[in-house]
Amino acid sequence: MPWRNGQPDAMIPPGETIGILGGGQLGRMLALAAAQLGYRCHVYAPEHDSIAADVCAQFTRAAWDDAGALARFAADCAVVTYEFENVPVGPLAHLAPVPLLPAAKALEVGQDRLTEKHFITNLGGTTAPFAVVDTLEDLVAAVETIGAPGILKTRREGYDGKGQWRIMTAHEVDGFVLTGQPLVYEGFVNFSAEFSVILCRSSDGNVVFWDSAENVHKGGILATSTVPASAAVLAQVASARELAARIATALGYVGVLACEFFATDKGPVFNEMAPRVHNSGHWTIEGALTSQFENHIRAICGLPLGDPALAATGVEMKNLIGDDVHDWAQILSDPANHLHLYGKAAARPGRKMGHVTRLVL
């Protein structure tokens, strides 16, 4: 396969193999979209019960830092992508010369909340006020400067509200015991709504956006995504898109990028980005002319991007979390519902088991 600057010089023809790092539901939905276009997928993940591997041609179960396994995996692939943003970056060099798309720079930036916030502010974006916290003294100083309420977050590896502690008053800090993990303290953003901008960028720099969904989180986990978003959000989408496009260009990004924002009375405040397909874009499978999963596959294979336009008057995506999944027969009894179950064996509190998309035609 001819490559230039780590990007496809020509399209990767159907029939070739796409490597996916990470074995969860995002990989599963990517693989289903890839299969529709005639590609085979090979999943690489450390866990033995990969729900992505269940729908893929091949599965390598190995540690993220297994140089030999990464090299053998890459040898089977025309391109490698990822569905999990906390893949350790160093060992990915063993994938060369097979390209990794989006490139590793997006992982480096997205894996550390501090690096990410500096990156965003350097691009002219607005984030919550933040301060680095390595010690209790840092935390005291951060709460004094930024004020409370605020949220203390681990810099790395937090997701779905994990690795976050809300600090409601400055007094609460007295009782804190820090574990030595690098942290960041964020001022609480007074938002009227949360929304995401999901874009797909091709290797020749073409960018398409899906309609922005208004997202409601419960306990730090996405509960629903609704399109169209409320007027308060719609008024801020253009400015948020402009920042998201700047991020994608600065990263030389190829594929789907998701950026989460708070809608505030001072405009959109950037919360975080995910250099991958995103839960708040699951509605695009039935609700858009081309889904985020299909366009990601098209982008990394050098194919023209599909139209992301809304295919209904409105769409609501609801996550099935923990025991919600037991309602599946009732969900299917309404013909407007599209049910997606991820095939996870055990329902645990907070675990995403599937989602339901409801179209308003």
Contact residues toward ligand AMP (CB under 6 A) are 128, 151, 158, 161, 186, 188-189, 194, 217, 220, 260, 271-272
The H or E element spanning position 274 is: strand 267-274
Tell me whether residue 176 or residue 188 sits nearer to ligand AMP (CB atom).
Answer: 188
Tell me whether residue 161 or residue 306 sits nearer to ligand AMP (CB atom).
Answer: 161
Q: Which two tokens stand for residue 131?
A: 């301060």
Phi, psi of 131 (to 5 degrees): -150, 145
Tell me whether residue 338 or residue 352 sits nearer to ligand AMP (CB atom).
Answer: 352
Shortest reach from residue 167's CB to ligand AMP, in Å: 11
Tell me whether residue 2 or residue 349 sits nearer to ligand AMP (CB atom).
Answer: 349
Shortest reach from residue 256's CB to ligand AMP, in Å: 18
Shortest reach from residue 189's CB to ligand AMP, in Å: 4
Q: How far is CA 307 from CA 199, 288, 291, 328, in A?
A: 12, 8, 9, 31
Shortest reach from residue 161's CB to ligand AMP, in Å: 5
Shortest reach from residue 158's CB to ligand AMP, in Å: 6
Q: Is 77 exposed, middle or buried (0-12, 13-18, 19+ CB in 10 A)?
A: buried
CA separation for the pair 245, 298 (Å, rounded): 18
Shortest reach from residue 261's CB to ligand AMP, in Å: 10
Q: Are 92 and 104 in contact (CB under 8 A)?
A: yes
Q: Where are the beta strands (DSSP E) in 22-140?
A: 40-45, 58-61, 79-82, 130-133
Residue 72 bridge partners (DSSP): none
Q: Are 237 and 183 in contact (CB under 8 A)?
A: no
Minimal CB distance residue for ligand AMP: 189
Tell me whether residue 116 or residue 294 sits nearer to ligand AMP (CB atom).
Answer: 116
DSSP state of 29: H
CA separation for the pair 186, 293 (Å, rounded): 32
Shortest reach from residue 113's CB to ligand AMP, in Å: 8
Tell me whether residue 113 or residue 241 sits nearer to ligand AMP (CB atom).
Answer: 113
Tell me whether residue 220 or residue 343 sits nearer to ligand AMP (CB atom).
Answer: 220
